[in-house]
A = this chain, B = another copy of it.
Amino acid sequence: MNRTTVTSGDVARLAKVSQSAVSRTFTPGASVSAKTREKVEAAARELGYRPNALARAMISGRSRTIALLVAYLDNQFYPIVLEQFSRAVQDRGYRVLLFMTDPGNQDAVVEDMMQYQVEAVVMASATLSTGLAQECERAGIPVVLFNRYVPGSPASSVTTDNRAGGRLVADLFLRAQHERIAYIAGAEDSSTNRDREFGFLEGLAAGGKHLHSRAVGGYTFAQAAQAARTLFTQKERPDAVFVGNDHMAFAVLDVLRHELDLVVPREVSVVGFDNVPESGWKGYDLTTVEQPADAMIRETARILFRQLEERQVEKEDAVLPCRLIERGTTHQFDETGAPRHR
């Protein structure tokens, strides 16, 4: 290991210009004569100079870094969000500092992010204590909750209209005249689950139905499988089930088909939420409510960068529409409402 730290001073000396001239050469909007720029670039190339982004960030007060906090990546929805969001951020000349968190202790992680002088924070499938959100606000750091919503928080949020999504599923079940309708919940303390379930129950009620049974899957594969076993080994088993997200729905389908030998959708209809890629795969072919990931990410980026540009934090809540994607785990109907055969 050797002295490989080439500084702008070294370049200046070799190019016989001032150190500021070097700085200007590497600053997009600065004014340098073609001749100076040339000399500097030649010297920089010769020495293998690279500006130190940390020093730059320190003095300019802009780290060009955005923190992304994610709780888990086994649900395919999040890797996709992560990938697209990272690309969006990179395209705008920013970097992503990634933090994996447990659904509990985010606050310690946020502390860490702030020490790194991130300019903004995005939390996917995770929330922030209102206290810390306020602190971020005071520090001028915009925070966006992605796919979560916290009523009193100063943090912005981007969600789909989960309640409307739940209602779409209820309507579908009503149309198919199901009798014993069940719900498998995600994490009960999440806003997504609350809203989906609320919309679903609301929709059923509007059609004069009530829930036959309910279990909790906690947004995990294993727990959802267990929930399915519980619900479908009752004396009177459900003939339709709405599962809080696709990831759990796959577990439910596995149990129904391969452990309980039920035929979907003939004996039971299943609907998920998210429309992750696997839902479109023929091995599952899952009817689901689509969350418009692309649009959600675009909104997130828009909110974030607007606040960064205007240099002020201003809460904004974006709620995007979702739509039902009917596939093979539910009965199909044609335009007249008559059952359609596949």
A80 adjacent to chain B (CB < 8 Å): yes
B-facing residues in A99-152 (Cβ within 8 Å): 99-100, 111-112, 114-117, 135, 138-140
A73 adjacent to chain B (CB < 8 Å): yes
Nearest Cβ on chain B to A146's Cβ, whole angstroms: 16
Are B97 and A97 in contact, CB atoms less than 8 angstroms apart? yes
A140 to B2, CA, bound (A): 8
Contact of A79 among B1, B74, B117, B135 (CB under 8 A): B74
A78 adjacent to chain B (CB < 8 Å): yes
Are B258 and A282 in contact, CB atoms less than 8 angstroms apart? yes
A211 to B59, CA, bound (A): 62
Identify the stretch in A36-44, A82-90, A180-188, A237-245 within 8 Å (CB) of chain B at 4 or more residues.
A82-90
A208 adjacent to chain B (CB < 8 Å): no
Contact of A54 among B2, B57, B68, B282 (CB under 8 A): B57
Oligomer: number of copies = 2
- Interface size bucket, A side? 35 or more
A267 to B123, CA, bound (A): 48
Are B68 and A98 in contact, CB atoms less than 8 angstroms apart? yes
Contact of A74 among B58, B80, B138, B283 (CB under 8 A): B80
Given A58-B54, A112-B95, A115-B53, residue A73 in contact with residue B80 (CB < 8 A): yes
Given A74-B277, A254-B281, residue A140 in contact with residue B63 (CB < 8 A): no
Query: Cβ of A73: which chain B residues have Cβ within 8 Å of it?
Result: 79-80, 82-83
Contact of A311 among B1, B74, B138 (CB under 8 A): B1
Query: Which of A4, A54, A70, A78 is most buried by chain B, counting CB atoms within 10 A of its CB?
Result: A54
10 interchain residue pairs of minimum CB distance: A283-B283, A79-B79, A254-B282, A73-B79, A53-B115, A258-B282, A1-B140, A98-B98, A86-B100, A73-B83
18 contacts between A and B (CB under 8 A): A1-B311, A1-B312, A2-B138, A50-B111, A54-B116, A65-B97, A68-B98, A74-B79, A74-B80, A74-B277, A82-B82, A95-B97, A95-B98, A95-B116, A96-B98, A98-B98, A250-B283, A283-B284
